[in-house]
Amino acid sequence: MDVFPDVTVGLVHGRQNAAERNEEMERFRVGETRILVATTVIEVGVDVPNATVMLVEHAERFGLSQLHQLRGRVGRGAARSHCLLVTGTSGAEWGPVARKRLEVMEQTTDGFRIAEADLELRGPGEFLGTRQSGMPDFAVAELARDQTILNEAREEAFALVNEDPELRTPENAAVRELLLHRWRGRLSLARVG
């Protein structure tokens, strides 16, 4: 390579078979390869204590949890490490949500804080459905903001179901009908597991 003529550079990507990827990762782990160029296939399960620098290109395209996982691939040993998040275009082109994600990554390494910010930015998705992001069908509540009242509502719901599991009593008939009407077709997803 022109930039690093005296350094061995490895390559890992998802189109390689597992044996090829493992062989390349082992070369990097033992130091035969000094620079590893990789796709996000290295996001999880790579433990190379002497890896000290990670550069993520087009960081504005990644979600918070993925950036956090990638950043976690460096800094596993005693040496000081750095994760550089490089954007591919001007900030005006990637919008306020991408900017906020990068600000969160800049401000914290706390996985819980990152998960909270991810929840605020992406939304939780559907609780009884397949959508993994976006805002749920709550009329007013916000999951991140209204945790106290949502916990109270949860306790009340469990108490109600404890007393009347099938919601068959006359005072609970309206609740039963509303649930069946609103969640018809998706209630079976709640029974998984």
Residue 172 lies in a domain: yes
Residue 139 lies in a domain: no
Residue 132 lies in a domain: no
pLDDT per residue over 37-68, tens digit each? 999 888 876 788 889 999 999 999 898 989 99
Query: Lowest-pLDDT range, 7-21, 33-47, 69-83?
Result: 33-47
Average pLDDT of the chain is 83
Q: Give the pLDDT band (50/70/90) at residue 188.
A: low
Residue 58 shares a structural domain with residue 108: yes
Residue 108 shares a structural domain with residue 174: no
Judge residue 175's burial from the number of C-beta atoms within 10 Å of its C-beta, 0-12 exposed, 13-18 middle, 19 or more buried. middle
Residue 115 shares a structural domain with residue 181: no
Q: Choose one of 106, 122, 138: the last residue of a domain.
A: 122
Q: SS3 string of the chain?
A: CCCCCCCCEEEECCCCCHHHHHHHHHHHHHCCCCEEEECHHHCCCCCCCCCCEEEEECHHHCCHHHHHHHHCCCCCCCCCCEEEEECCCCHHHHHHHHHHHHHHHHHCCCHHHHHHHHHHHHCCCCCCCCCCCCCCCCCCCCCCCCHHHHHHHHHHHHHHHHHCCCCCCHHHHHHHHHHHHHHCCCHHHHCCC
Residue 113 lies in a domain: yes
Residue 101 lies in a domain: yes
Q: Choose one of 67, 87, 122: the last residue of a domain.
A: 122
Residue 116 shares a structural domain with residue 48: yes
CATH code at 64? 3.40.50.300
Q: What is the pTM of this model?
A: 0.63
Residue 105 shares a structural domain with residue 60: yes
Residue 157 shares a structural domain with residue 118: no
Phi-psi region for residue 75, left (φ > 0), alpha (ψ -120 to 50) or beta? Answer: left
Residue 112 lies in a domain: yes
Residue 127 lies in a domain: no
pLDDT per residue over 74-109, tens digit each? 988 889 999 999 987 765 667 788 889 999 999 999
Total structural domains in the chain? 2
**Domain that includes residue 184, residue range:** 147-190
Percentage with pLDDT > 90 across the chain? 38
Q: How far apart, in whole angstroms, are the C-alpha atoms of residue 47 and residue 191? A: 37
Residue 69 lies in a domain: yes
